[in-house]
Structures are given as C-alpha cells and as structure tokens.
Amino acid sequence: MVDRVYNFSPGPATLPVEVLEQASKDVVNFKETGIGLIEMSHRSKEFMAVADETEALLRELMEIPDNYKVLFLQGGASSQFFMIPMNLLGDGKKATYLNTGTWSKKAIKEAKLFGDIDVAFSSEETSFNRVPAVDEYNVADDSEFLYFVSNNTIYGTQFPGFPNTDKMLVSDMSSDILSRKIDVTKFGLIFAGAQKNMGPAGVTVVIIREDLLERTPENTPTMLCYKTHADKGSMFNTPPCFAIYAVGEVLKWLKKQGGVAKMEEINKEKAGLLYQAIDSTDFYRGHAETASRSLMNVTFNLPTPELETEFIAKAAEIGLNGLKGHRSIGGCRASIYNAFPREGVVKLVEFMKAFEASHTD
C-alpha cells in the first residue's frame, strides 16, 4: 500500500483515514446486506437510518434547536447564492452583504437578480486581506438579513466573532463549519458545501429556521424551494446518498474526538504552530491581517514567485501536497481542516525552517 501524503488541499480536502477505510467496505457491502451503499435505494430502511443518524449527529454536535430544519441538498454551495435571495427576498426586498472574498462576491452578483442588495463593506481593494471590524459597516434598517462568509478559503481570512446586529444572520460556512462552537439561534440560515470540513463533494447542508420556509414566493421553481425539501425530509428527489453517508461517518469521528469544542482547541493549536513559523521570520509573509487570520486556511508568500514554485515542488517531494495558493492570488496556502493531522503541520513547519535556511546567508 502506498503511504498517504499530507493533503493540504483546500477542497475536496483530507478526510479521517478511519472514515475512508469504513467507506471502502460499505461501498461494496453495507452492513452485511449484500448490497453496496451506492447501489442501495434511498428509500430503503437501511439508508433512511443513515440519513436520520447523520441529521441527529449534526444536531447534537452543533446544538441545533428543534425549530430549525436540516436539509441535505445538491447543486453545491454555489446554488445557495441564488436560492437564498430567491426564497427570502420576494418582491425585491433589501439585504445587506459583506464582501470579503471571491465567494461573497459571487453571492452578491446572484442576489442582485432578486433583491435590493446593499454591500456595506468590501476589502477587495486590499486583495481581501481582512474581514471588517464590527464598527466598519452598518446594516440597513430595512434589510431582511445580513449575509457574510465566515471563512474565506482563497485569502485565508475568517471572522473571529460573528457580526453584532439585531438583524437575522445568513452565513456561508462551507470551509469552517464544525471547526468552532457557534450559537445557531443567531442565524436564520447557515449553509456549507461538505467537501472541506464534513465529507466528500456532492452534498450541501442547509440549516434553516422553520418560519423562513413560508417566505418563498409562489412562483419559485419547486426544486429551488426550501420548503419542498423540508417537507420531504430531503427525499423529494434522490439525494446524494454516498455524500450524506460520508458526512455521517465524519460526524461519528468528530464526536469521538471530543466534539466541536475539543476540535476548536486542536484547530487553534495547529494554526498557531504555522502562524508562529510565519511570524518568526521575514522570509515568509502572511497574506491576511493578524486579526483576520483563518484557522482553516493559512495563506503566505515567499520573497519571490520563483521561490514559491520551488517551495511547493520540494514540499511535494516529501509528502506535503496541495500547498499551491489559489490561482487568483498565487503564493502558498496550507488548508488544515478538522481532519488534517497535527503531525502534518509539524512536518510543514520543519520544512519551512529548512527551506529558509537553505536559501538565506
């Protein structure tokens, strides 16, 4: 068997080895049924049990109240960019958005098709190197909600705390869901593509407060209406069965690690090791401002693009893969989601020190 490398990819991203091993068995023969998981009816009692357990685990780990629905949808997180305003901004109502990166910018473009969108903050002029302080923007009085991306994978920024407003919060948590404790009751809607911190690509989790299901305009297409999926327990059409199953297996693993609070401790320690290595020298420079640094995606630059190319190539030679920064900003990026092992971070820090020593007098 080939040794596993340390996968710093931003997504699809590394998964717990024990989850991969269990999935490799269940794909062939699920719980001795003689049927592989991915060929099993989504309405079979076996798969219905999988879906129910996955939802129950997510509710437990995130402390999701009973008046919220948990939906397992398709179309990726990008489909939520238009589903949210389509469902929640009928008759051209207003919403406030914070522009902190590529994904919020895309969401703003889609939202403008359905409502009056007020962009109350943007860090685009400084290459999205920070998120706003609480006093840097105002939420319009007539806004239905405040939309923001909690963690920005490309630029390595993250909201250290959530916006303080009386308005309903809507958040894209695709890259940091389950990485730290949050108060779900502050949000009307949370969504996340699974492929960064929860499982493989193919399913998007939507957590929506029940009263919002009644806001959808009558002319909304059936498949794009949240109530359609809420009423049918995410079984209106054939759901992404394998992805839902894999999310459930990751949630079991997360619970065994000690839950979200314990994972938050581990994530802070892992990121701290990397940021300490960056801050201890002028050879490496972090992209994000210190107060906006992400615990999930650590972005940094070397003195020249040529050195960055060499750094990425030599790191890959020793099993440190996926360190190339996003094509839009270049540089390097280490994505260290929940399932990324601490020893991989330690090995990267050791390599960073050795690489610097070999390129400085």
Q: What is the pLDDT of residues 57-67, one digit of tens each?
A: 999 999 999 99
Every domain of the chain and the residues it spans: 18-256, 258-358
Catalytic residue (choose from 26, 69, 103, 270): 103
CATH number for region 18-256: 3.40.640.10
Mean pLDDT on 319-334: 94
Nearest to 158 by CA among 265, 290, 249: 290
Whether 329 has a pLDDT exceeding 60, the answer reads yes
Residue 230, CA atoms < 13 Å, CB-side half-sphere: 18
Of the chain, the percentage scoring pLDDT greater than 70 comes to: 99
Rounded CA gap, 154 and 152, in Å? 6
Q: Which residues of 231-254 are buried (b: 16+ CB within 10 A; e: fewer)?
A: eebbebeebbbbbbbbbbbbbbbb
Looking at 61-167, which runs of residues are DSSP E strands?
Answer: 68-73, 94-99, 116-122, 143-149, 151-152, 157-158
Q: Are 251 and 57 in contact (CB under 8 A)?
A: yes
pLDDT tens figures, 30-43: 999 999 999 999 99
The phi, psi pair for 250, rounded to 5°, reads -65, -40
pLDDT tens figures, 105-140: 999 999 999 999 999 999 999 999 999 998 899 999
Q: Which residues contact 266 (CB under 8 A, 6 or more apart)?
A: 257, 338, 342
What is the model's pLDDT at position 180? 98
Mean pLDDT on 237-242: 96
Whether 92 has a pLDDT exceeding 90, the answer reads no
CB atoms within 10 A of CB 132: 18
Tokens at residue 127, please? 């290459």
Which amino acid is it at 68? Y
What is the model's pLDDT at position 55? 98
Catalytic residue (choose from 69, 196, 227, 270): 196
Whether 5 has a pLDDT exceeding 80, the answer reads yes
Catalytic residue (choose from 69, 172, 176, 270): 172
Average pLDDT, rounded, for the chain: 96
Report the SS3 class of residue 157: strand
Tokens at residue 281, please? 């020298």
Rounded CA gap, 343 and 99, in Å? 34
Would you tell me the crossing angle of helices 45-62 and 259-279 to the nearest 10 degrees?
A: 60
Rounded CA gap, 274 and 111, in Å? 36
Interior angle at CA 92, CA 136 and CA 119, nearest 5: 20
Rounded CA gap, 26 and 19, in Å? 10
pLDDT tier at 91, thresholds 50, 70, 90: confident
Active site residue 232: no
Which CATH architecture group holds 258-358?
Alpha-Beta Complex (3.90)
Mean pLDDT on 84-104: 95
What is the model's pLDDT at position 2? 60
What is the model's pLDDT at position 66? 98
pLDDT tier at 332, thresholds 50, 70, 90: very high
Active site residue 172: yes
Whether 1 has a pLDDT exceeding 60, the answer reads no
Tokens at residue 268, please? 């802070």
pLDDT tier at 361, thresholds 50, 70, 90: confident
Whether 253 has a pLDDT exceeding 90, the answer reads yes
What is the model's pLDDT at position 360? 87
Active site residue 118: no
Rounded CA gap, 247 and 258, in Å? 17
